[in-house]
Amino acid sequence: MKRNRSVKILATLGPASSEEHQIAELHKAGADVFRINMSHASHDLMRELVARIRRVEAQIGRPIGILADIQGPKLRVGKFKTDSVDLRIGQEFTLDDNEELGDETRVHLPHPEILEAVEVGHRLLIDDGRLFLECIETDGRRVKTRVLAGSKISNRKGVSLPDTTLKTGALTPKDRADLDAVLEADVDWVALSFIQRPEDMAEARKIAKGRALLMAKIEKPQAVQRLHEIIELSDAIMVARGDLGVEMPLEEVPGIQKRITRACRRAGKPVVVATQMLESMISAPVPTRAEVSDVSIAVFEGADAVMLSAESAAGSYPVEAVSTMDRIAVQVEKDPLYPGIIFAQRPEPEATGADAVSLAARQMAETLDVAVIVTYTATGTTGLRASRERPQVPLVALSPILRTARRLSIAWGLHCVVTEDAQDLDDMVDRACRIAVEQGYANAGQKLIVTAGVPLRQPGATNMLRIAYIGSDGLSAV
């Protein structure tokens, strides 16, 4: 199924979209990768969703990526005698290790790691920032705070800590169990929530052992401060604007989104923009004009993918949300300003042969009126190098490895095709010509560019570029 856009769409599965026919409809509407949220999915449901996606994949004959999103530490206060209490600005309120039900003066905080790490002056945000507290005294077992904003707190509300770095890692016991389960289910990507530091990614990488690629969700100020280190240890990044907008001033989030997007492009790693992109379509068949602009900005910035959460998981119009996002992306990429904006944001190539070949392929394609760039990739490295250049001609990634094609389905511009490994260089070029014609990206008489790493079947850097003419038989004419 040929897409008419380069940016990819992630769709979250949930109660509104979990059946096999619904998954097929979402893919037809434009979803390239499906997200399974482990905050809400049991291991059995996750395995069933993976099986349904794989059956849809087999029916349509196109590789589909699967992203499992690990919950991360959910920090919550305890319960109150009256379910909720009213507070007033300026009063003192304590969070402690006392398991008794809370009242107007205190509440149990069942997270000793918070009580030990919070310092005087640190902020504590309760219920997505609706209650704003500041620590005025702490002794490791209780945190005395002053109410700076908000007037109510109720049972089990979440706690955000924009100033505090917890000593514990980002993986809870539940996360470790979920990680083992999704790796056994052979998902393609694992998204890790509430990453604070590079060590969190290193810990997950030791567990994954290459069985899935790892995506760091940037949703905490501590992660923004160490962004480049986290990118280096990640395979991709997600701009998780929901929690990021709670723990940081809302007005800073758009700038951070641009910083993250450009940093990932420089590093040649996929970046996903997520959260509330078409939020109103949870209950309405059309989005707001502001939401349309929000999606378009991410596309103009050159993000690899944009994501739907509750819109496709629990909304009343999941297929319409995907098709709406598809139409927005297609229209943006047709805009006369789009090529210039993408070109202006292109990073300088690294001083490697692979980057030089990918740069040359993009420049030659745009200079010589080439129909398509076809890149052979076994591990995915060659495909990501080509994607990093953001060429203005289509990109087809050929791989003999289904897992590689599934993983690359999240990368900008890559139309992934699984094919048998080429026997030699001539077979490689002939195969590239034939598949480009079959997939609708080129016709007889047109030129295409082929890039690959040679010798064949040996993982390594991209080092070969060849221009080919497509003959009347659909094979190389030279």
| pLDDT tier for residue 477 given thresholds of 50, 70 and 90 | low
CB 225 within 8 A of CB 195: no
The candidate with the shortest Cα–Cα distance to 198, out of 164, 160, 169, is: 169
Structure tokens, 193: 């929530």
Question: For residue 474, is pLDDT > 80?
Answer: no
List the chain domain ranges: 8-73+171-343, 84-160, 353-469
Question: HEC states along the chain?
Answer: CCCCCCCEEEEECCCCCCCHHHHHHHHHHCCCEEEEECCCCCHHHHHHHHHHHHHHHHHHCCCCEEEEEECCCCCECCCECCCEEECCCCCEEEEECCCCCECCCEEECCCHHHHHHCCCCCEEEECCCCEEEEEEEECCCEEEEEEEECCEEECCCEEECCCCCCCCCCCCHHHHHHHHHHHHCCCCEEEECCCCCHHHHHHHHHHHCCCCEEEEEECCHHHHHCHHHHHHHCCEEEEEHHHHHHHCCHHHHHHHHHHHHHHHHHHCCCEEEECCCCHHHHCCCCCCHHHHHHHHHHHHCCCCEEEECHHHHCCCCHHHHHHHHHHHHHHHHHCCCHHHHHHHCCCCCCCCHHHHHHHHHHHHHHHCCCCEEEEECCCCHHHHHHHHCCCCCCEEEEECCHHHHHHHCCCCCEEEEECCCCCCHHHHHHHHHHHHHHCCCCCCCCEEEEEECCCCCCCCCCCEEEEEEECCCCCECC
| Domains 84-160 and 353-469 in one fold | no
The confidence score (pLDDT) of residue 473 equals 79
Answer yes or no: is pLDDT of 478 > 60: no
C-alpha dist (Å) from residue 381 to 396, 432, 443: 14, 18, 28
Residue of 5, 8, 35, 220 marked catalytic: 35
Report pLDDT digits (tens) over 191-228: 999 999 999 999 999 999 999 999 999 999 999 999 99
Among candidate residues 275, 324, 377, 462, the one labeled active-site is 275
Q: Which of 106-120, 238-252, 344-358 has the lowest mean pLDDT?
A: 344-358
**Residue 310: CA count within 13 A, CB half-sphere:** 10
What pLDDT, in 10s, does the model give residues 439-459?
999 999 999 999 988 776 666
Q: What is the pLDDT of residue 453?
A: 82
pLDDT of 321 strictly over 90: yes
Average pLDDT, the chain: 94
User: Could you tell me the two tokens for 160?
Assistant: 């955000």
- The mean pLDDT value for 29-53 works out to 97
Residue 247: pLDDT over 60: yes
pLDDT score at 454: 79
Six token digits for residue 63: 């590789």
- Predicted confidence band of residue 460 (pLDDT cuts 50, 70, 90): low
Active-site hit among 28, 47, 54, 76? 76
| Alpha-carbon dihedral sign for residues 298, 299, 300, 302 | positive
Taking the CB of residue 331, how many other CB atoms lie within 10 A of it? 14
Which CATH class name applies to 84-160?
mainly beta
CATH architecture label of 353-469? 3-Layer(aba) Sandwich (3.40)
Q: Can you tell me the mean pLDDT for 355-381?
A: 93
Amino acid 35: pLDDT? 98
> CB within 8 A of 389, min separation 6: which ones?
346, 358, 359, 361, 362
pLDDT band with cut points at 50, 70 and 90 for residue 52: very high
Q: What local confidence, expressed as pLDDT, does residue 309 receive? A: 97
Residue 1 has pLDDT above 80, yes or no: no
94 flagged as catalytic: no
> Any catalytic annotation for residue 174?
no
Whether residue 143 is predicted with pLDDT greater than 90 in this model: the reply is yes
Question: pLDDT per residue over 88-103, tens digit each?
Answer: 999 999 999 999 999 9
For residues 356 and 326, the model is more confident at: 326
Gap between the Cα atoms of 107 and 101, Å rounded: 7
Residue range 120-129: mean pLDDT, rounded = 94
Q: Between helices 198-208 and 173-184, what is the axis angle to 10°?
A: 40
Count Cβ atoms below 10 Å from residue 377 Cβ, excluding itself. Answer: 26
pTM for the structure as a whole: 0.93
Task: State yes or no: is 382 an active-site residue.
Answer: no
Active site residue 217: yes
Predicted confidence at residue 325, as pLDDT, reads 98
For 115-127, what is the mean pLDDT?
Answer: 96
Mean pLDDT computed over 20-24: 98
Compare 185 and 345 and report the one with higher pLDDT.
185
Q: Which of 373, 360, 397, 362 is nearest to 446 (CA)?
A: 373
* Span 370-376, average pLDDT: 96
What was the pLDDT predicted at 169?
A: 81
- The answer to whether domain 8-73+171-343 has CATH 3.20.20.60 is yes
Provide the 10 A C-beta neighbour count for residue 89: 11
pLDDT given at position 422: 84
Is the distance from CB of 403 to CB of 188 less than 8 angstroms? Answer: yes
Residue count of the chain? 478
Kindly list the distances between the CA atom of residue 104 and the CA atoms of 83, 85, 87, 194, 206, in Å, as whole numbers in the listed order: 11, 6, 7, 30, 45
Q: Is the pLDDT of residue 386 over 70?
A: yes
Share of the chain above pLDDT 70, in %: 98
